[in-house]
Amino acid sequence: MRPAQPTAEQLRIAIENASDGLVVLDESNRVVVANEALHRLLGWESGALLGRSLVDLVPRDFLTLHDRQLREPGRHVERFDRGDGRTIEIENSTIGGDGGGGQVWIFRDVSDQERRRRDSDEISRRMAILHGISVATLADGGEASILTAAVDGLAARYPDFRAVFAWLRPDGRLELARERGRVGESREGRVVDLASCRRELDALLQLRILETRDVRIDARAEAFRPLLAAADIVALLRGVVHVDDAGFALVGLDAATPQTWSEEQRRTVEAVTEHLTVALADARERALRREAERALALRESEHRALLSRLSGMAYRCLHDAEWTIEYASEGSRRLTGWSAAELESGGNVRYADLIHPDDRAALWASRRVAVAAGVDFSNEYRIVTADAAEKWVWDQASAVRDAAGEILRIEGFITDVTDRRRAEAARAELKRVLQQAATDWARTFDAAESPIVLVDERSEVLRLNRAALELCSAESFREVHGVRLVDLGGGALFEEGAALVASVLATRKRGSKHVPLPVDGRHWFLTASPDDAPGEHARRVVLVFKDVTDTVALQASLRERELMAAMGRLVAGVSHEVRNPLFAISATLDAFEQELGERHEFETYLQILRKQVERMTSLMGELLEYGRPAPKPSGGRADGTARPGRELGEHRLDELVKAVADESRAPAFERGCTVVFRGGGGNAAAGADALGLRSVVQNLLDNALQHSAPGGEVVVATAVETNASPAVWTLTIDDGGPGFREEDLPRLFEPFFSRRRGGTGMGLAIVRKIVLEHGGDVTLANRPGGGARARVELPVTRLDA
């Protein structure tokens, strides 16, 4: 439809009100008309351009446009950058009938237009990336400019054409802009409360939700009449749903537009509106197509990159238990060992058969549930590949449906996660082993009998075991954690430990120390080792306390035993060697006495010699007894030196003592003394050398009698302590004599120690030897009330023999 020619007056008004700069040049290129907008655009004072030459207005480059217009009369458009970031478009055309007139130049600021397009493109692109094609198509910035162009076009033609832009905001408020021109800008706007047409508003918003792009509101004019009234719209041109938060845009004619237009005018508006509808539709289609293409390209390149990168298989299959594959990517070979062609329907392999039999049913159930719930399917399961290997795969898929919601197919992607599963399993196993090891370690640590303390480089406690807690009398680990070793309260022991740790920290070498404690007679062996584990804990020290009291005692006892055995061998050897010459002397003495004993003058000599030989013989016997190795309790005589007449076996100790005591009554009586026996040992018995024990009792009893004054009493008493294990039988022999000298007490059991004239000093040594051989102990002491006490302890082998 051809628009009607405007009148000169209409043209003048249009020029004056146009937002574009307009200039009309006469034949000599002088400005005859220049509107306000042109002055603003080019930075001149209003009216200052009138009468000036074109050369003053435009950059030199654009004179070529003028020249071209002269050569080829018609419409030419050029753009130039004004230098301040704004782009000006210049449209140049000749006016005035047959070309003899001047030229019209229209200067249009297209910066915003450009920017809007760029912005719009940018938004579309972002939307495309973020939401995919369906959302991307919503973004179409083109419509707004078309709308603007149409309204501007109409306004240019009809000076009294007044467009109304109404922005229906999502919050339900209607914002009106009366200024004709740019859509989306609200100049001198006013806000209308739409509470009165809430229903219509909701209907519109509903339309928007349904993604209806444009609405022919005039078709529903009746329904929207209150809304149009609120917007002062008397004739609706368009209603467009915008994608952004601006909401719903209405464009119409307001009451200021003359109601009495000519038929021609009415047709023009209708034609423009019609044209507008088509243009909008085209623009939208173009945008849709463009965006679709862009999104598709994006998706395709993305997918191609993804598929080539990932060691997985993209697939499309039917939603059936056979997993009928319609399409598989070539990753299938790496994943399953089968090519895509083999897996796809028509191939010889069914994907369902690859799924591990144990997982198949559960997997199908899981897929059906996911599809029914309309959610993505994501599962890990096992497949068996072409070479019978088992693989863990991760399958992520979703259902593709048609418009009616019917499931067309399943599309998804399957990745090999075997390594991850293995790594997870290995990690789990490692974790389990580590936990087990930690538990075991803690148990072992606590179960260790020796106290163990782990300290840091400041000698502060990091860890310690139960035995160590007991050693420092602590209740809980909490009490002692971080406490310095010396402050643990163990006294000298921990001080020695701390000193040892300090030296180990200095030398980084293992150290040890023997610590005897006079306080309780215990012996400790301390070992400190640097914790050599690499890493942050390299400066820790492990301190182990070992109670070696028993070992030390054992060693002392062994040393004594060894000493006694060596001495025994020596003594026995000497004794034997002495016995031969002793026999030679005694035999010669016997022969001498036999021949010459009658002669009186020899008597005294013979007596002296005889007495000394006897004494020596006796001493040799005692020495031999002292040096004799302990008899074997088994009764064996392998040592070859046991004295004849040994009675090894289990003996009732009280019976044995009573017999000796009874035998001693007669010699006691001769001294005017009495022997009292108080048997409290019951039937306690011990594995013993009866002869040896008898000599022990005899010896101690003789000793007691020898130190008793006439009228004195020697009390022999026995008892059993059953609370010890094994039970202990004790014998005490008390006399009323003067007792021992204090200084003699430590030496009484030493061989040859004797204060008694003529005594060999071997008696008590032999007593002690025999008692020790029986695993017992013997002590001599002074009783508080005076007199001496000998006390023998023996372990009981049977309490009721």
Partner 1 sequence: MTGAGRPRVLIVDDEESVTFALRRYLEREGFAVECADEAERAMAILDRGDVDLLLADLRLSGVSGQEGFALVEHVRDRHPACRSILLTAYGTEEIEQEASRRGAALVLAKPQALADVVTAIRRVLGTDES
Interface positions with partner 1 (CB under 8 A): 576-577, 579-588, 590-591, 594-595, 613, 617, 637, 640-646
CA–CA gap between residue 384 and residue 391 (Å, rounded): 6
Residue 442 vs 596, nearer CB to partner 1: 596
Strand intervals (E) in 7-86: 21-25, 31-34, 75-81
Q: Which residue has the tokens 């070539």?
A: 330
Is the peptide bond between 726 and the residue preceding it cis, with omega within 30 degrees of 0?
Answer: yes
DSSP 646-674: --EEEEEHHHHHHHHHHHHHHHHHHHT-E
Backbone dihedral angles phi then psi of residue 234, each to the nearest 5 degrees: -100, -30
How does DSSP classify residue 220? G
Contact 735, 707 (CB under 8 A): yes
What Cα–Cα distance (Å) separates residue 757 from each residue in 116, 189, 620, 738, 754?
137, 143, 18, 17, 8
How does DSSP classify residue 691? H
Q: CB of residue 563 vs partner 1: minimum separation in angstroms?
A: 23
Contact 181, 162 (CB under 8 A): no
Q: CB of residue 578 vs partner 1: minimum separation in angstroms?
A: 8
Residue 318 vs 642, nearer CB to partner 1: 642
Q: CB of residue 611 vs partner 1: minimum separation in angstroms?
A: 14
Q: Which token pair is 790?
A: 């000998």
Pairing of strands 452-455, 407-416: unpaired
Amino acid found at 438: A
Residue 235 vs 578, nearer CB to partner 1: 578
Pairing of strands 103-109, 713-721: unpaired
Contact 749, 696 (CB under 8 A): no
* Residue 643 burial (CB count, 10 A): 13
CA–CA gap between residue 208 and residue 746 (Å, rounded): 116
15 contact partners, CB below 8 Å, separation of at least 6: 22, 24, 33, 35
Reference 328, options 402, 386, 414, 388; nearest CA is: 414
Residue 432 vs 615, nearer CB to partner 1: 615
For CA atoms 501, 502, 505, 511, give the dihedral sign: negative
3-state secondary structure of 394: strand
What Cα–Cα distance (Å) separates residue 508 from each residue in 504, 505, 555?
5, 5, 31
Reference 194, options 169, 223, 212, 220; nearest CA is: 169
CA–CA gap between residue 54 and residue 407 (Å, rounded): 69
Residue 762 vs 794, nearer CB to partner 1: 762
Reference 415, options 315, 301, 486, 500; nearest CA is: 315
Tell me how many degrees the CA angle 515-520-521 measures, rounded to the nearest 5.
60
Reference 94, options 78, 75, 77; nearest CA is: 75
Residue 200 vs 625, nearer CB to partner 1: 625
Q: CB of residue 591 vs partner 1: minimum separation in angstroms?
A: 4
Q: CB of residue 613 vs partner 1: minimum separation in angstroms?
A: 7
CA–CA gap between residue 764 and residue 740 (Å, rounded): 13
